[in-house]
Amino acid sequence: MSIVAVIMAGGSGKRFWPLSREDKAKQSLALFSDRTLLGETITRLLPLTDNILVVSSAKQRRHIEADIAAFPGVRAIFEPVGRNTAPCIALALRAIGEFWGGDDRVAVLPADHHIADPEEFRATMTRCLAVLEKHDGIGTIGMRPTYPETGYGYIHIGASLADGVFAVERFEEKPKRERAEEFVRSGRYLWNGGIFLFRASTMRRELKTQVPDIMTAVETLPDPIAVTKEQYGAIRSISIDYAVMEKTALPICCALGDFGWSDVGGWASYRDLLPKDEHGNAIRGPAHLIDCRDNLVVNLTARPIFLLKKQGQLVVATDDALLCADLADHQEVRRVTEYLEKHGLAALL
Q: How far apart are the first and last CA of the chain?
A: 43
Q: Which residues of the chain have pLDDT under 50?
A: none
The whole-angstrom separation of Cα 88 and Cα 271 is 31
**164 burial type by CB count under 10 A (0-12 exposed, 13-18 middle, 19+ buried):** middle
Task: Give the pLDDT confidence score for residue 1 in this predicted structure.
Answer: 58
The whole-angstrom separation of Cα 305 and Cα 293 is 15
Q: How many CB atoms lie within 10 A of CB 130?
A: 15
Q: Are 58 and 188 in contact (CB under 8 A)?
A: no
CATH architecture of 3-262: Alpha-Beta Complex (3.90)
Q: How many CB atoms lie within 10 A of CB 333?
A: 20
For residue 203, which of 110, 112, 88 has the smallest C-alpha distance? 88
Full-model pTM: 0.95
Q: Where are the domains of the chain?
A: 3-262, 267-332
Alpha carbon separation from 10 to 44, 170, 242 (Å, rounded): 19, 26, 18
**176 burial type by CB count under 10 A (0-12 exposed, 13-18 middle, 19+ buried):** exposed
The whole-angstrom separation of Cα 53 and Cα 64 is 12
Sheet containing 296-299, strands listed edge to edge, beginning at the edge strand earlier in sequence: 282-284, 296-299, 313-317, 322-326
Q: How many CB atoms lie within 10 A of CB 310?
A: 18
Q: What residue ranges in 144-272 does DSSP mark as E strands?
A: 154-162, 165-172, 189-199, 252-257, 261-262
Q: How big, in percent rounded to 5, are the helix, strand and coil portions of the chain?
A: 35, 30, 40
Q: Are strands 189-199 and 105-110 parallel, antiparallel or unpaired?
A: antiparallel
Task: Give the pLDDT confidence score for residue 344 in this predicted structure.
Answer: 95
Residue 77, strand partner residues: 55
Alpha carbon separation from 316 to 18, 290, 301, 325, 336 (Å, rounded): 7, 17, 10, 9, 13
**193 burial type by CB count under 10 A (0-12 exposed, 13-18 middle, 19+ buried):** buried
Residue 79, strand partner residues: 57
